[in-house]
Amino acid sequence: MNQSPTQDKQNTDKLVFRSVLGISIFVFITVVVLNRQVLPKPELIPSWTYFLPKLNAFINGTCSLLLLLSLYFIKQKNISAHKNINLLTFGLSSVFLVGYILFHWLAGDTHYPEDAPFRGLYFFILITHIVLAATVLPLILLSFYRGLQMQVDKHKKLVRFTFPIWLYVTVTGVIVYLMISPYYPV
């Protein structure tokens, strides 16, 4: 029996939502496992490992600028440029995630010293960054889905939340790096 176009769309939406949920849960569990340092580490940490936080900060800063550029393009009604900038930003954010996972698996955590200045500010920024980073991934994926399907009204409703959270996460990622970088080993 053939399904109606409405049923096909509903089935596709369900599949997309389940996929988004699955990807988001997988990434969250991966990050939690790495932060708990459950996985065995190699005996020798590769020398490039300690370059990853700087690279990730650069990627985050670039993503911040690209998100603002994306906003500019959509305000100019240049949908093609908006789409391409967002795809590039998503790609860079994915590279960031791989670098983040690699660094924390290979090098572990760096702790902000108890007697360091701005400790309270650092933890406030770090905690809000982590919570919002975990929250924003499903929003980004759903925003992409709605945008790529040209479901403009639904895309706009999602992006009202997604954009400021994603921008906050990228900007605070740079700030966290600048605050913790003096305490990295090596």
Mean pLDDT by 10 residues, the chain (186 residues): 69 84 84 71 87 96 98 97 96 93 84 90 95 92 92 95 97 96 81
The domains of the chain, with CATH numbers, are 5-183 (1.20.120)
DSSP class of residue 46? -
Helices (H), the chain: 5-35, 52-75, 79-106, 119-148, 152-180
Residue 53 and residue 103 in contact, taking contact as beta carbons nearer than 8 Å? yes
Q: CA 79, CA 75: separation in Å to the nearest integer?
A: 9
Please report the pLDDT score of residue 74 as a whole number: 97
Overall residue count recorded for the chain in this entry:
186
Angle between helices 119-148 and 5-35 (to 10 degrees): 160
Q: How many Cβ atoms from other residues are within 10 Å of residue 165's Cβ?
A: 16
> Is-contact 165 139, C-beta < 8 A?
yes
**Predicted local distance difference test score (pLDDT) of residue 10:** 73
Angle between helices 52-75 and 152-180 (to 10 degrees): 150
- pTM across the whole model: 0.86
pLDDT, residue 36, reads 66
- Give the pLDDT of residue 186: 62
Which whole-number Å values give the CA distances from 2 to 5, 7, 8, 9, 11, in the listed order? 9, 10, 9, 13, 13
Residue 1, pLDDT score: 54
What's the pLDDT score for residue 32? 76
